[in-house]
Structure 1
């Protein structure tokens, strides 16, 4: 049985989710201890427990220690069981992270799957639904499977109450390289508010317009309906010939709309300045599917601690080599190949 130290590297929930995803795919059991030791509240929170239980349902796994606050558990999968699934977190915990835990197994399963997930769809501590839809899933589809996600109801932190559905048509994974962004086709920014004054969105978009020197026709303010609680998100999308990237800023109590927008704009400016195709967060998300495909190569910004930690966990389950090197100033290349 593989032993995972949950305090390693960035010491967060990603270690848990990657371990679950790869245990399902490989059939290798694992035990994990010191779960989320690097966080203020260590152990399994509700969204992590939902991910564990979702993985157990997909893989018919036997688990010990799956409870709120648990610092350790053991996971022994049997076989991947595609089908219709419904997972509800019961809080504003991230649906997208639960989804990404079970996605690798279901995109290579023998039959299609349908999933409904309920909880937080727009959570500042996780990729929002828009990132999945616009940036991540198009690349998964490029590898062979067909995955379609539909947002039915937004769920902002801290109220939650969101819902989205996913249809998965599995296929063998094809490797691909992503070394050039290509020409930029479209740039746009959308600021959304739920149960908050729309002027917040207009203030954020004003910063985007001034800092990025964009025309007004690239900007959109949206008042979200059907939201269970208040929320605000600024989404900036850069669509290029070979990839779309999504950058976000989340409204927070006590943080001005201008500061929220400046944070997002800073990430966009860095991405555009270094002319690499893959942003930092997407780089982290691509590692598992590329490793399962047997290889791939992409260029990105300087790797985060999430990325380097994820590499270490992947290599505990898969016989792959992963090389990370800086090929130019602040430009990095990550290559994966079978060991």
Structure 2
């Protein structure tokens, strides 16, 4: 019998990411896992509906048996079965983040043995998670370096509080993941400002774009392209609740893509929304770091599984990233070399385990 791996959910950053990553690796490596002290460092500890959705989603891909799966539960036991991915529809619930549910599912789908299509319902734009457009524009494009190809389309946006967004996601599996090198900054090739809004006056999106574009011009000397997705509310694909946001996407000379984002909220001026995204974007450019902090975090699992040496440099090392690294090292025979302090520029390097389907 395979020994059950014990994971303290309060380790490091201590949020839902520990649970999502542990369940994904448990399913992929066929190692039973008990995660306890789930979200112990949060004001409302234990499982929330969006965490249940992520665990159930991974379980559905593997025929896993799960114990302790209820709202408020502080521990679960996950007993994985064989990865037998199939096309599924999943309701994350209200405005629960679709991006975070995909974070748990994607490593498993990478080795599923067949192309899989998912239809996910929930929140596309959540203040506590990367927007769904980040997954499409940044994570997916950088993952293609490993040979793992995913694509997605947003059929309807879902904002807080009701969510109701719809995302169609397709995954094409690999035998092995190729390693990646995201360490050089060969200069900006282009900057794109993507602004979206629903059930709000058009001038809201225009002011966000205007603020972001003018600051990019003045501080970076670059003329960005601007793309709008503005829905009045009458369209069949309009969101249930009003909302808006911006994603600023930078492409480097070697094709590496990074981004920063900001989400609108009641009472926040449009100019501030644009300014928030620009500030983060410019900080990264000034550090000449090719990977944003979200990418550094989300590529840890793939680097550990890849067949070869991967390396990445980011403008900000986060506790999220360090926590994921510590967790991955409990599951796989790998050791990351990490440099840089939390909140400062840094990166990591690792010789991956060469996992094969």
TM-score, length basis structure 1: 0.94
1:6: Cα distance to partner?
1.2
The one-character-per-residue Cα deviations of 1:192-223 (angstroms, maximum 9, x if unpaired) are 22111222222222321332226777234431
Equivalent position of 1:293 in the other structure: 306
- Correspondences of 1:1-339 after superposition (within 5 Å): 1-171=4-174, 172-213=176-217, 218-224=225-231, 225=235, 226-240=238-252, 241-294=254-307, 295-326=309-340, 330-338=344-352
1:301: Cα distance to partner?
1.7
TM-score, length basis structure 2: 0.90
Instruction: Give ranges in structure 1 of 5+ residues lacking alignment.
Output: none
Q: Are the aligned partners of 1:274 and 1:330 in contact in 2 as well (CA < 8 Å)?
A: no
CA distance in 1, matches of 2:138, 2:271: 25
CA distance in 2, matches of 1:122, 1:331: 27
Partner-residue secondary structure (3-state), 1:320: coil
Partner-residue secondary structure (3-state), 2:162: coil
1:158: Cα distance to partner?
2.1
- CA 160–299 in structure 1, closer or farther in 2 if over 3 Å, else same: same
CA distance in 2, matches of 1:144, 1:284: 19
- Cα RMSD between the aligned structures? 1.9
Partner-residue secondary structure (3-state), 1:321: coil
CA distance in 2, matches of 1:163, 1:206: 29
1:338: Cα distance to partner?
4.4
Q: Are the aligned partners of 1:17 and 1:51 in contact in 2 as well (CA < 8 Å)?
A: yes
Instruction: Give ranges in structure 2 of 5+ residues lacking alignment.
Output: none
CA distance in 2, matches of 1:321, 1:141: 24
CA distance in 1, matches of 2:131, 2:15: 18
Runs of 4+ residues deviating >4 angstroms: 214-217
